[in-house]
Structure 1
């Protein structure tokens, strides 16, 4: 009866955890921290690029001195003001480059923010980074061991009633079972807490992610410099309707149209190259070395993870040695049939279950840590 209740509770705990994980995943899918930012910068760039790519429609109405001179002295006026109407289209061909650069900069800003969000998620988890897969591995190992342990203790209780087991023997095994249950509860609570934190790509190489962030950040500055350089140039074409209305002189305009190509260059462009290079290099240094910058904090975190990796490698070797020793003892004990030997076997089984759960945790954690540290040099 107790075994059934324990198994039912264990299944309920797993089901609740699975449902909680589904809820967490659905929340993560709806609250991608980079999605809103990327939509905003893309929309902004499209709005700005639309003005750069589209032609300009212009029109003007005014009065001009359009009369003809009478006489030869300088005091003769040109005539009374005449009405003039001008309308047409203008297009600056440099706008094609500016529009494309604005869209490219928006994509670079999006990639930068995506990498930054992932790095900040890793920083929020800190030294616990990489534990998701490790906790899952421990939970699987305990889920396999607990039913067998429950059955073992139930059988020992029956033997106690029959007088073939002592209370001390039952208590010794019961303590080991309670330790396994406590470890299972702690594992599920740790998994639940991790589920509430920002999503982190556990197997992603932090070095590659850091490189992607710095590359996108550098590209943003390079494209911004390109936009600054483009302001020095103007290649525009204007054309349309242009007519002067003079009822007295009856100015004759067979074709009241005009066209004009304008090329402009600001000589300040000659000094922009060095200034843009200085700005780009300064941004690289600021991103890399600022006290509160994500790259600097991530590099510090990577150092801590390397220390964790080294410690857990040593611990895994120790635990693996213990598991091998206990498995060897268990094989020898199972060949004997005495009651005292069977009690020792029960103790070995429960202790072996605990060590295998720890071994599974360490193995999975080390695998994840090695993926996280794969592309970063010590």
Structure 2
């Protein structure tokens, strides 16, 4: 009997104490599971590299020969005189690059936010109906950790009664079968928690609709900024200045400066094309057959069905738990052998139902959070 009690106590304590390492391991796995980190680093680095060329001035230099003679005094053979050596050097800057550089960095941040939301949505799709099960499994594990030691104690007492002639083999077998069901449920719960710890978790406190809206907003911003970059190609506002000397020619000040404003008339047709691209991207993201947004919308429907089903089941289980607890209070006052056996059956069945009740209650709360609905 002591061996059975010790085994039951250790199993129960192991389930309870094992929750902290499991949670710690899950946190470690999920911290490593930041699937968007590498992507964000890449797009930010790429944007910085491209923006560096847009934001920095241009250094230029040229060497060549020009005809810099006097046409009035030149000969008929060379009206502009003989070629002269010319050296030009200076700085140039295109002010449109300020806009382009800042826009490139802003687009990288939008792409990062888009990918973060997409990674969370894809994780939700991969988990499917198991989404939000972590808290439910924890609640079931706590319930089983409380009830299993008591169940082990009941079986040990029944074995002693069997040796003393106070119980039958059929009664012992019936109780052992119920205890085995509890043990199997405890093992299945532990395995499910370990598997779930390997998967990246959704951001806490965010609904699937919020994540979907964040993805769509970031995706739209990426297209808007890309359209702005395309439009900026039509403009040029540059300034150039520096040193410009033609040798063997009198120059009072060998310096120059130039301001240039340019505009490509094709930009007049870009507005409608950019609007078409923006709307097309929105439709593509929404309706892509293998896209996460479409699958998330399907998952939302499945989770709403699961919520309704589990809400109904929780009501049934809660009614059974209340009924069994009432019966248990009544039979506790009686001390006959048959009543004690019935009490043992009630306790084991109550333990199973309480574990299911804890699971359903926690899972429903998580589902309501994910779906953005309030509890009853």
Report how far residue 195 of structure 1 moved. 2.2
SS state at 1:33 partner: coil
User: Paired residue for 1:3?
Assistant: 5
What is the alpha-carbon distance in structure 2 between the residues aligned to residue 375 and residue 244 of structure 1?
A: 78
What is the alpha-carbon distance in structure 1 between the residues aligned to residue 143 and residue 354 of structure 2?
A: 7
User: Paired residue for 2:256?
Assistant: 258
Q: Is the 8 A contact 2:15 2:145 kept in 1?
A: no
User: Paired residue for 2:281?
Assistant: 283
Deviations 1:245-290 (A, max 9, x none): 01xxxx2222211111111111111111110000000000000011
What is the alpha-carbon distance in structure 2 between the residues aligned to residue 70 and residue 99 of structure 1?
A: 50
Is 1:129 matched up with 2:127? Answer: no
User: Paired residue for 2:338?
Assistant: 340
SS state at 2:36 partner: helix
Decide which of 226, 229, 232 is 1:230's aligned counterpart.
232
SS state at 1:308 partner: helix
Q: How does 1:32-43 map to 2 (within 5 A)?
A: 32-43=34-45
User: Paired residue for 2:94?
Assistant: 92
Decide which of 80, 83, 88 is 1:81's aligned counterpart.
83
Change (3 A) 1:27 1:364: closer
What is the alpha-carbon distance in structure 1 between the residues aligned to residue 237 and residue 292 of structure 2?
A: 42
What is the alpha-carbon distance in structure 2 between the residues aligned to residue 124 and residue 361 of structure 1?
A: 21
Q: Is the 8 A contact 2:16 2:142 kept in 1?
A: no
User: Paired residue for 1:189?
Assistant: 191
Scaled by the length of structure 2, the TM-score of the pair is 0.94
Report how far residue 14 of structure 1 moved. 5.9
Q: Is the 8 A contact 2:68 2:84 kept in 1?
A: yes
More divergent stretch after superposition (127-136 vs 348-357)? 127-136
Deviations 1:44-93 (A, max 9, x none): 00000000100000000110001112459976511000011100000000
Change (3 A) 1:24 1:317: closer
User: Paired residue for 1:156?
Assistant: 158
Report how far residue 153 of structure 1 moved. 1.5
Q: Is the 8 A contact 1:130 1:202 kept in 2?
A: no
Unaligned ranges ≥5, structure 2: none
User: Paired residue for 1:352?
Assistant: 350
Report how far residue 346 of structure 1 moved. 1.3
SS state at 1:79 partner: coil
What is the alpha-carbon distance in structure 2 between the residues aligned to residue 221 and residue 352 of structure 1?
A: 58
More divergent stretch after superposition (291-300 vs 220-229)? 291-300
Q: Is the 8 A contact 1:132 1:202 kept in 2?
A: no
User: Paired residue for 1:245?
Assistant: 247
Q: How does 1:136-151 map to 2 (within 5 A)?
A: 136-151=138-153
Change (3 A) 1:233 1:375: farther
Decide which of 159, 165, 168 is 2:170's aligned counterpart.
168
SS state at 1:200 partner: coil
Report how far residue 156 of structure 1 moved. 1.9
Decide which of 108, 117, 127 is 2:110's aligned counterpart.
108
Q: Is the 8 A contact 2:43 2:111 kept in 1?
A: yes
What is the alpha-carbon distance in structure 2 between the residues aligned to residue 13 and residue 178 of structure 1?
A: 16
Report how far residue 128 of structure 1 moved. 1.3
Q: Is the 8 A contact 2:86 2:245 kept in 1?
A: yes
What is the alpha-carbon distance in structure 1 between the residues aligned to residue 213 and residue 158 of structure 2?
A: 59
Q: Is the 8 A contact 2:100 2:232 kept in 1?
A: yes
Report how far residue 375 of structure 1 moved. 6.7
**Cα-Cα RMSD:** 2.0
User: Paired residue for 2:369?
Assistant: 371
Is 1:310 matched up with 2:300? Answer: no
Q: Is the 8 A contact 2:59 2:92 kept in 1?
A: yes
What is the alpha-carbon distance in structure 1 between the residues aligned to residue 187 and residue 205 of structure 2?
A: 25
What is the alpha-carbon distance in structure 1 between the residues aligned to residue 240 and residue 373 of structure 2?
A: 55
What is the alpha-carbon distance in structure 1 between the residues aligned to residue 320 and residue 204 of structure 2?
A: 29
Unaligned ranges ≥5, structure 1: none
What is the alpha-carbon distance in structure 2 between the residues aligned to residue 134 and residue 296 of structure 1?
A: 27
Q: Is the 8 A contact 1:135 1:361 kept in 2?
A: yes
Q: Is the 8 A contact 1:241 1:256 kept in 2?
A: yes
